[in-house]
Amino acid sequence: MKNLFSLSALAIILSILTACNTGNGNNSKNAKLQTPAAKVSDEKQMAPEEAKEKTMSDLQEAFKGETTASAKYAAYSKKAEEEGLHNIALLFKAVSTAEKMHANNHKSVMTEYGVAIPEFTPEFTVKSTAENLQDAIDGESYEIDTMYPEFLKDAGNSKSQLAQISFNYAVEVEKKHKVMYTNALAALNNNSVQELPKAYYICPTCGNTYDQTPPERCGISMTSSERFIKINSL
């Protein structure tokens, strides 16, 4: 009985091996097995020096982006006030203040790394408040979905911790800005601008922006809310 069992078992193993060595199933199985290895070898790993250089230029680009955003939102604030949209003017002023903090953080990191601070004049166009809000939503979306994820990856590759902190502070705050601008545009379209928040609180460390009484500590940088900047007038 024992021999019979062994023979049957051997026959089953042989039939499985034969099946595995013939037909398309085997090829596709091997192809699947090879995929992860092929993927790894296809991915270009940036050399440390190259990654460092990329992070330094990322910091310069982020600084220019944040400086431009701050100046642009300040101009959009004035335009909203001219259109009689006071609560939207307050929002633009609050976010302009937050973007200034992002720019200052990037600047501090560049100084620490010995990178040249770009000198430039911000360029932007002021349109109607509805268009300005859409432009702001598009700008925040670009930073959230494209720019900062790429910069964070570069900073990780080059092990530039200060750049990682500064980029991370900014991207987390941009997510809140996008929501605030989206709500403001909806309010403008629904004729309910007067119901929008009338006071904002900005964290001086990371630019975190609250449209209601903030918690004891900033939800991003843990800074005491006693140090927050309150914006409730233009």
Please tell me whether residue 174 binds Fe ion under the rule CB under 5 A. Answer: yes
Q: Which stretch binds Fe ion (CB under 5 A): 4-12, 60-68, 77-85, 223-231?
A: 60-68
The nearest distance, CB 47 to Fe ion, in angstroms, is 30
- Alpha carbon dihedral 131, 135, 136, 142, in 10-degree steps, equals 160
Element (H, E) at 200: strand 200-202
Q: Report the sign of the C-alpha dihedral through residues 173, 196, 132, 121, in that order.
A: negative
Q: Which of 154, 177, 193, 208 binds Fe ion (CB under 5 A)?
A: 177
- Written as six digits, the tokens of 185 are 């545009």
The nearest distance, CB 66 to Fe ion, in angstroms, is 5
Reference 140, options 86, 195, 107, 183; nearest CA is 183
Q: Which stretch binds Fe ion (CB under 5 A): 7-15, 52-60, 96-104, 146-154?
A: 96-104
The nearest distance, CB 106 to Fe ion, in angstroms, is 9
Under 8 Å between Cβ of 63 and 99: no
Pick 46 or 183: Cβ nearer Fe ion = 183
Under 8 Å between Cβ of 219 and 109: no
Instruction: Considering only residues 102 through 141, tell me which ones interact with Fe ion, judged by CB under 5 A.
Output: 102
From CA 54, how far away is CA 59, in angstroms rounded?
Answer: 9
Instruction: Considering only residues 65 through 94, tell me which ones interact with Fe ion, judged by CB under 5 A.
Output: 66
Binding mask 15-44 for Fe ion (x = CB under 5 A): ------------------------------
Pick 107 or 177: Cβ nearer Fe ion = 177
Instruction: Decide the pairing of beta strands 209-210 and 229-231.
Output: unpaired
- Written as six digits, the tokens of 64 are 């220019």
- Catalog residues that contact Fe ion under the rule CB under 5 A: 66, 99, 102, 170, 174, 177
